[in-house]
């Protein structure tokens, strides 16, 4: 602190509290709505306090399905989201680790070609090649499968760049020592590089899990069966069946459940999250 300005500090607290209220209030209201009955919400009588229907609403979307709006249960959607997010995050990390290992620790023809091919995928987000990619996945028979939901998203230029950068900072002496001790490339990777990369892997995992969980366009395109939907696309179907008929208490309960896992990951692993976010953007 440069100088003591008690008034300035109070003002800072006030501004930050206002900011927090703006950020938290919408989600708090969604939670409140998820604990009331449809009549209270439809009459615009929703107050600021939670109501008595919490258990009923959540158990309805989790175990009984949402009735007339959709057949899929939210528990199945949550499971699908979780499985595909896990495959995407671990898959991206695994193939990026080994490809950047090859690019940094080996000299082979076409090495730079491989690097640029991976790097330039940054230029082709799924949004700019929607239908051709859909067609390939359909031709491969991967519609409505976990493989279809995750494998096409697994290539990762950012993760490869991050690991490449990190491997460059690992001292050469470690490799020389390992070679003197007669360790082969696989052993060096497993016993030296992997343990050193632990924090980077964890930070990246947090970011990629959120990325995978929050996918929208891709699951929307390639899932047709209700039991393969992820929760992020499932929620939209609950809302737009017909505006007047939307069961808002169930929609809001689904929204809360859909955001809970990734938000918990951010809050619980905040240090790793911040590290991952800052490093993947470098």
Residue 281 lies near other proteins (rule: CB under 8 A) = yes
- Cα end-to-end span (Å), the chain: 29
User: Does 123 contact other proteins by CB under 8 A?
Assistant: yes
Shortest reach from residue 226's CB to other proteins, in Å? 17
Q: Of 80, 248, 250, 272, which lies in the binding site for other proteins, with binding defined by CB under 8 A?
A: 248
- Closest distance between other proteins and the C-beta of residue 51, in Å? 14
Task: Name residues whose C-beta falls within 8 Å of residue 194's C-beta, 6 or more positions apart in sequence.
Answer: 97
CA distances from 90 to 78, 133, 144, 156 (A): 18, 22, 20, 11
Q: Which stretch binds other proteins (CB under 8 A): 55-63, 66-74, 121-129, 190-198?
A: 121-129
Residue 106 touching other proteins (CB under 8 A): yes
CA 123 centroid distance within chain: 20
- Does the footprint of other proteins cover residue 33 (CB under 8 A)? yes
Q: Rule CB under 8 A: is residue 166 a binding residue for other proteins?
A: no
Question: Toward other proteins, which CB reaches closer, 71 or 129?
Answer: 129
261 by Cβ neighbours in 10 Å (0-12 / 13-18 / 19+) ranks as middle
Q: How far is the CB of 174 from other proteins (least distance, A)?
A: 9
217 lies in the site for other proteins, by CB under 8 A: yes
Nearest approach in angstroms of CB 218 to other proteins is: 10
Residue with smaller CB distance to other proteins, 130 or 227: 130
Q: Under a CB-based contact definition with an 8 Å cutoff, are residues 88 and 212 in contact?
A: yes
Residues with Cβ within 8 Å of 2's Cβ and at least 6 positions away in sequence, in order, are none
Contacts of 121 (CB under 8 A, 6+ apart): 155, 156, 157
């Amino acid at each position: 602190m440069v100088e003591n300005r008690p008034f300035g500090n109070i003002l800072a607290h006030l501004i930050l509290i206002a900011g927090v209220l703006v950020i938290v209030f919408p989600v708090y209201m969604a939670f409140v709505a998820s604990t009331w009955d449809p009549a209270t919400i439809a009459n615009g009588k929703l107050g600021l306090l939670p109501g008595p229907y919490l258990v009923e609403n959540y158990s309805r979307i989790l175990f009984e399905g949402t009735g007339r709006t959709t057949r899929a249960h939210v528990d199945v959607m949550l499971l699908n989201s979780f499985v595909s997010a896990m495959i995407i995050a671990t898959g991206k990390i695994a193939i990026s680790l080994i490809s950047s290992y090859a690019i940094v620790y080996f000299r082979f023809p076409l090495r730079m070609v491989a690097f640029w091919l991976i790097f330039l995928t940054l230029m082709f987000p799924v949004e700019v090649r929607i239908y051709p990619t859909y067609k390939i996945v359909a031709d491969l028979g991967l519609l409505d499968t976990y493989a279809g939901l995750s494998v096409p998203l697994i290539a990762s230029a950012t993760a490869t760049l991050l690991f490449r950068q990190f491997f460059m900072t690992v001292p050469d002496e470690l490799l020389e020592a390992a070679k003197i001790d007669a360790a082969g490339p696989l052993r060096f990777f497993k016993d030296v590089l992997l343990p050193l990369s632990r924090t980077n892997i964890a930070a990246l995992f947090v970011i990629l899990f959120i990325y995978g969980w929050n996918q929208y366009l891709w699951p929307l395109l390639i899932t047709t069966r209700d039991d393969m939907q992820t929760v992020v696309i499932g929620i939209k179907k609950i809302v737009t069946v017909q505006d007047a008929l939307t069961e808002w208490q169930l929609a809001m309960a689904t929204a809360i459940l859909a955001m809970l896992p990734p938000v918990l990951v951010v809050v619980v692993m905040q240090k790793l999250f911040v590290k991952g976010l800052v490093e993947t953007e470098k």
